[in-house]
Chains A and B, each alone.
Chain A
């Protein structure tokens, strides 16, 4: 029943155009058009953001020829009056994806068919796709853009990693034109493989690797003399000089993409996800300067149920609060910032703009981000992006200043073509009225933030005069007193409004009888009166009027001051629970009178002092150290050890721990996908973990390149990565690799047996050897293959293998493979049957990183014994105990102590299993793993003997920075609770005053395991 006022009218007379187009056949006589038009007396938003009042604009054809005040026009010019109206330059959308879908030829069912097509083998890589070649199926979506005030949209295929060319479209066309303004206007990229049916890539790190390999392929293609034609690579090479856009689905995707851009000397404009304000420093460090921000913000949650609201993570709430501030915070950096209206309906567009205005950003900045900046990014600012003489006539007309009041464009001019959206003037009727329905008096209040769709309240103040009889025994006179009772009776009401025309429905429910009024009326602006006729519930026609009370303020108006002083939570590092208000910094720290487990020949020192300065251990002394320091920690009765090193960890990883789609994926890098705000980082700090090796999973024989990080909570991925760390790669053997426990459908990928695994290894290294030879020969046709590159590094002993392994046969096998290619396997991880081949392992020179006591989860761990670590240690093999489990990772000291129970090794040896031994396995024992002068100050102060069940970490210090402090942890806990309560209250208040809310849906909690396939962490059984 809602009335539509937004009529889409094309005038029968076209105002156009200077194009000399090819002739298009048309039906009937040639449409008439008029070319010289003046828009007069308008408020025009100029290039530098000022509003010029009473301004005239002269258009000839599709061009603005003159702008100025009080221009005189000759009679041949059609003059239109725009008094009191506002004219904004049309917006430019950089991230549109209108009616495009992947063409047939891209469907590659399986990888075997790759060679038959002249396109890239992977379905997610289609740089040759050209959006301009696909006709628009309907004008609905592009009309929506026009309605929002967009004149130009850059349209691209929103699918795939190398997505192909976009085309620039204008949002309105004439009878003899199409939408196309510019073909191949830019090229688009992302890390999302979209609808590609190739298994590869199945993880974010796989996407990164694939994109890099594609660029390497393109370089090779441009140089190679002998090659098959490959259209994809040809087009990719052409794109390098074009405008390039990258769709970043997360803030860190920007930095991931920037690294690729730097590697191949290209530059991207980043279409972002909206949380960039959280990492401004990182963006600065990476010299990122061109961002296209979304105009969508997280919705409020429905939090009426406390059981549900407690489930909403603080992280989401903090983001919800600060998301509209993204633009404001980024503005400080003087970067090139544009907006994208992707995923917004025309109805929400100005609402969201006003959310940004409320953050205290001036409209000039917003306007620029919608017009001139995107024009500059596309390199079309000479003709588009502002209302200037000699630019093209792209602008929109508004009845009110849209930056002051939420509204919609009443008409748009696009390339000189006028399109009218609203015939009626928009009227703000909010206020308080005296309502008279059939001579009965009521109060009517029309209010609400959205003046286009206000709410109503109808009530009646009834004065009851009651006579109360009071007995006064003294006077024996019944005193009759008149008492006025004022009662407010509220009726339910609803309002439908279009412009000045409105329908008011009132239901008067007095229990016994129910009266309804349906009133139709018109608002008379001059008199501030609404009058009309309506029906009462008996079907009688009644007259009604509502007279505006001039004293009354519009409810919304006085809210404005409140908004500008909105209480705002601080940005935390990271911006989630247990985040720091300020990043902790390096301090000069003295730990006094404590028991120091040095892990060196000094053994355990009682009542010793340790001085930390500049992130290093400066002095260890039994004597008093009397230097001026920032912090003194009393270690009396406590124990100081080196920080725990987890040799096998899967925490802090973004979108996928396995790129298990191919048997060999040595090209993927865990360092590309570090997730610095994984809560497990902080949790593990509380267990004394300072360093973790993040390993690829074990879904395939040759996995990805490892990342070694320090758990610097609050810092960026780059700061967490240990600089110049030795290079590692994950290999895997056994049941996971041969997909034994993946069900009946996974029986096709080679290998399915341990026999096959050996041959995968042999084949890989044979190819790597050949690759290395060719590389050294320096041939011009040399083809960079990231997969073989990593394997060649192993042969050259520049990269070390950590190999997931269980049974003795496969352990022995890999050592033989390594021997035959002249390198040594660095570490066998899990290695639960290591005790059976300890002599062979010792001979080969490999280390071990094992579980303390896990077994019985797979057939291949049937002979696993908890004495493994002790036996290997006694054999003189460097042995570590690792977690491979986010929970157990914070009790590694307990796990080490199990080697005392099972195998009776000394306490000091046991501690080494989780400190200096893993450091040795990682070739970092010159920097970490023991308490020695000159080494990194990665230390943990425990409440008790670190191997006893009662030991709790009081302090965890990394590089001289206190990242975990047990007493401060309680402050953070409190801070979490208070912040959450504040945000829930804030959201609740907004919800009560009518903000839109959606139900909360919990994300499955999960962690990555060795066997987790795909991008999402799961709760599935851990198969390690």
Chain B
């Protein structure tokens, strides 16, 4: 019983980290910049396909493809921010919705066209395969890696946004554009970099998700709901909130499926509804 509980907690925590990595970028763009980016998972898809291409066609090791996934998705995010998104910062939420859904459709068709519709996978290095024995229990190696990645990303983001000069500029620009401009902060640049960060994080999440959920052209829509759930439950603009929400959702989903499998499909939605009714602004949200 104890062993199974520990196992469930571990698997759930790892799944939570996957949810966190996939959604933290949206927490940045939607939460901080107030931009409704429904194309978030399209950026994840860019990262995922970048990893697939580099690993399968050019033989890069998996770990080396991860920064590339971040850069690819972040680069596309910058290009789109410059040409399309920045014009809509002041538009209504609904227009932002429509634009980004349009981009989701375009990305789905484009990836189906260039990569086909078959499910992609990447070869894993041997140290990320199978399971590792620790304290007399076996833990899946890739899940340990996911947990490590999640912790590193969360720590880095919190550090970068809370303690660095750039983080202060971004927060100032987002909170009050006019005032920030008056103080000589380059708001345009701050927005662009924030957007690139959001896109890049999505790309990284997409690359890391392949091993667990696979990757095909429908990815941009299939995981959108999960990502929105994490951001809403966590609270807008809170990295810590997204982290906590992802862990709670991941663990409860896993525990629900293990102990009450007949409830399996309902758990994650029930938890979300309950949490939002209890705290409509999200776990760590302020507004």
A and B from one assembly? no
